[in-house]
Amino acid sequence: MEENSTNPKEERIRKITSLYYSRPEIQNAIFEFCKNREVVPRYFEGFGKRPDTFQYPNDLFELVKRGATSFHCSEEIWTDPLELSLEQKKEDLKKLRTNWDLLIDIDCKWFDYSKKAAQAIISVLQKFNIKNIGLKFSGNKGFHILVPSQAFPKEIAGQKTSELFPELPRKIVSFLRIQAEKELKQNLPEDFYSQFKDVKIRKGIKCNNCGEIAEETYLQALVCPRCRREELKKMKLEEFNSGKVYKCSDCGKILELNESKSKKIYECKKCKISSKENPNNFSRTVEIDLFELMGLDLVLVSPRHLFRTPYSLHEKTSLASVVLKLNELEKFEPPDANALKIKEVRNFMPDSIEGEASKLLMESLDWAKKNEPKKEIEKKAFSSTSSGSFNTSGSSQPVIKIEKISDNNFPPSLQKILQGLEDGKKRALFILINFLHSIGSEKPATQQRLFEWNQKNNPKLDEGYINTQIEWSYRKAPVLPPNFDKDYYRGIGIIPNQEELNYKNPVNYFIKKSLSEMKKPKSAPKKRVSKKPEIKKQETK
């Protein structure tokens, strides 16, 4: 009798795949979520070819007939997933990527603590006024939390949000991790840490940028006692403790340690940051990293990263990746995801409002800016007329300070925009913010002016969206608005005149007009001629 090579787990899942995936509502739920995403089937132990995607709902069941047991999709949304390839560079992926969803993958080997971590993250999201959150069980011991792309602004200071992947979601998830840890620690049972007595806890210095424990190394200054030749040697802790000796390559003498020049350094392998160049990045000593203790690593954001689709089966458990309501999380247990007992099939993608996650986005960027390693600011000069120039050397102020910003010196095209628009308001906002920032308008003044302008628009822009764009612009050095010959203006129905085209840029126009006004000689006030009262002579008789 031939021995059956199929293991019990594979037998169990293969028995239910055809029955489970044949349900039209399951097929539609997976198909609808996976539109314009890269989709890869899994054949129990191995994945199928990449790239792949669904063209029709029944494509899914055809793959099941060929042995597919689960389906995995990208958090990125593409114009055509089939055009993806491993050879493509970052710029090629940018052109194909239309958007991305924020996907937080929670996977802890203790299910109860995965649940607590999910609750903490959802609580943090809600504190940032995000109400529409997708939640699903992973099928094993974790959860997936989704904030849709629609919740984020489509553009930030003229740059498409879709082009800021994976840097932007990584910053958001890192910030969420820090906030969720604080939330978790407030709700832990008294005996929590005693459960981890056998778990090896790494102790040391934490990288402030990503929260990971840094690697400790030693920079040894070695000197030859005979020829006085010096060299620096970096070694790991084990090598340092081994007492290994080094010889001079010139004379063969054993090198001696110069303690005054030797020092301990820390390196974050994830961020590629060293305390040698960025000492302020490693300022916080930690004893216990709660998320590391629980086996949680939320920062799994990377190009073409895949996660299990909603309602896909899990090979190890045969459970389905069911979608949950937020209020169901507390009482949810894995047996509730029995594939053969699922009655209600839900949409994992929640309805969201544009800009709903703007506050979270700005807080994450501010946090990332404070914790990122200091980089030398590249100095660039704005192109302008000889009469005035602006620079970006870290200052938001112009080189030539216009004491009084007069609307009369604004280019006619911008004066027309400021009268209010019906179409093209987001493009106009981009022009106005960069113009006002470049001419030295302070943030509160810019905010007030743009809110007043928004009252003239029909329909009005969301004030939260305006605030987000202003905050983003004023976090960095000013950037010139588009030149008059760009399509930005004609695209919103504004046709620059010949004088504006001669000046090329709105800032050049404003500087020239303002300086001309300042050079005008002030007319001297007319002297008041006091009239002496007439004195009538008395006639003498």
Domain count, the chain: 3
Of the three residues 286, 309, 338, the one that is the final residue of a domain is 286
96-99 LR contacts (CB < 8 Å, sep 24+) = 97/162, 97/163, 97/165, 98/36, 98/162, 99/149, 99/161, 99/162
Contact 38, 50 (CB under 8 A): yes
Q: Which of 80-94, 101-115, 293-307, 403-417 has the lowest mean pLDDT?
A: 293-307
What pLDDT, on the 0 to 100 scale, is given for residue 350? Answer: 95
Please check whether residues 172 and 312 belong to one and the same domain. Answer: yes
Please report where in the chains the tokens 């689709």 appear, as a residue: 309
Please check whether residues 42 and 61 belong to one and the same domain. Answer: yes
Better-predicted residue by pLDDT, 58 or 5: 58
Please check whether residues 145 and 253 belong to one and the same domain. Answer: no
Read off the pLDDT band of 400 (50, 70, 90). Answer: low
Please indicate, yes or no, if residue 273 is contained in any of the structural domains: yes
Please indicate, yes or no, if residue 509 is contained in any of the structural domains: yes
Please indicate, yes or no, if residue 329 is contained in any of the structural domains: yes
Q: What SS3 state is found at 381?
A: strand
Please indicate, yes or no, if residue 496 is contained in any of the structural domains: yes
CA distance linking residue 265 with residue 199, whole number of Å? 26
Indicate yes or no: pTM above 0.75: no
What pLDDT, on the 0 to 100 scale, is given for residue 296? Answer: 62
E strand or H helix at 273: strand 273-274
DSSP string, 195-263: GGTTS----EEEPTTT-PBPEEEEEEEEE-TTT--EEEEEEEHHHHHTT---B-TTT-PBPEE-TTT-E
CA distance linking residue 463 with residue 168, whole number of Å? 22
pLDDT digits (tens, 9 = 90+) for 498-511: 999 999 999 999 98
State residue 477 phi and psi, 5-degree precision.
Answer: -65, 155
pLDDT digits (tens, 9 = 90+) for 470-493: 888 887 788 899 999 988 898 888
Please indicate, yes or no, if residue 438 is contained in any of the structural domains: yes
Instruction: State CA 407 to chain mean position distance.
Output: 36
CATH of the domain at 168: 3.90.920.10
Q: Please report, for residues 152, 299, 398, 509, the alpha-carbon distance to residue 149 in angstroms, rounded to integers and kept in the order given.
A: 6, 18, 36, 38
Please check whether residues 18 and 75 belong to one and the same domain. Answer: yes
Read off the pLDDT band of 377 (50, 70, 90). Answer: very low
Amino acid, res. 395: S
Please check whether residues 252 and 343 belong to one and the same domain. Answer: no
Q: What SS3 state is found at 146?
A: strand
What pLDDT, on the 0 to 100 scale, is given for residue 204? Answer: 63
Please indicate, yes or no, if residue 526 is contained in any of the structural domains: no
The pair of structure tokens assigned to 209 is: 């940028």
Please indicate, yes or no, if residue 380 is contained in any of the structural domains: no
97-100 and 76-78 beta bridge pairing:
antiparallel
Q: Which residue range(s) make up the domain with 472? A: 407-519
CA distance linking residue 435 with residue 408, whole number of Å? 15
Per-position b or e across 290-320, b if 16+ CB within 10 A of its CB: bbbbbebebbebeebebbbbbbbbbbebbbb
CA distance linking residue 407 with residue 75, whole number of Å? 46
Instruction: State CA 121 to chain mean position distance.
Output: 17
Please indicate, yes or no, if residue 221 is contained in any of the structural domains: yes
Please check whether residues 59 and 118 belong to one and the same domain. Answer: yes
State residue 444 phi and psi, 5-degree precision.
Answer: -60, -40
Read off the pLDDT band of 528 (50, 70, 90). Answer: low
Contact 298, 106 (CB under 8 A): yes
- What value does the mean pLDDT take over residues 202-226? 75
CA distance linking residue 39 with residue 53, whole number of Å? 5
Nearest to 320, CA basis, from 142, 144, 138, 145: 138
Please check whether residues 302 and 443 belong to one and the same domain. Answer: no
Please check whether residues 300 and 448 belong to one and the same domain. Answer: no
Q: Please report, for residues 68, 229, 251, 411, the alpha-carbon distance to residue 225 in angstroms, rounded to integers and kept in the order given.
A: 69, 8, 10, 73
What pLDDT, on the 0 to 100 scale, is given for residue 531? Answer: 54
Please check whether residues 60 and 168 belong to one and the same domain. Answer: yes
Nearest to 440, CA basis, from 380, 382, 516, 500: 382
Please check whether residues 159 and 53 belong to one and the same domain. Answer: yes
Better-predicted residue by pLDDT, 274 or 420: 420
Nearest to 315, CA basis, from 12, 2, 3, 1: 12
Read off the pLDDT band of 375 (50, 70, 90). Answer: very low
Please check whether residues 228 and 300 belong to one and the same domain. Answer: no
Please check whether residues 509 and 456 belong to one and the same domain. Answer: yes
CB atoms within 10 A of CB 342: 18
CA distance linking residue 426 with residue 419, whole number of Å? 15
Of the three residues 319, 342, 359, the one that is the final residue of a domain is 359
- What value does the mean pLDDT take over residues 27-39? 96
| Average pLDDT score over the chain | 82
Q: Does residue 523 surpass a pLDDT of 70? A: no
CA distance linking residue 456 with residue 211, whole number of Å? 46
- What value does the mean pLDDT take over residues 5-26? 89
Of the three residues 234, 256, 286, the one that is the final residue of a domain is 286
Contact 222, 255 (CB under 8 A): yes
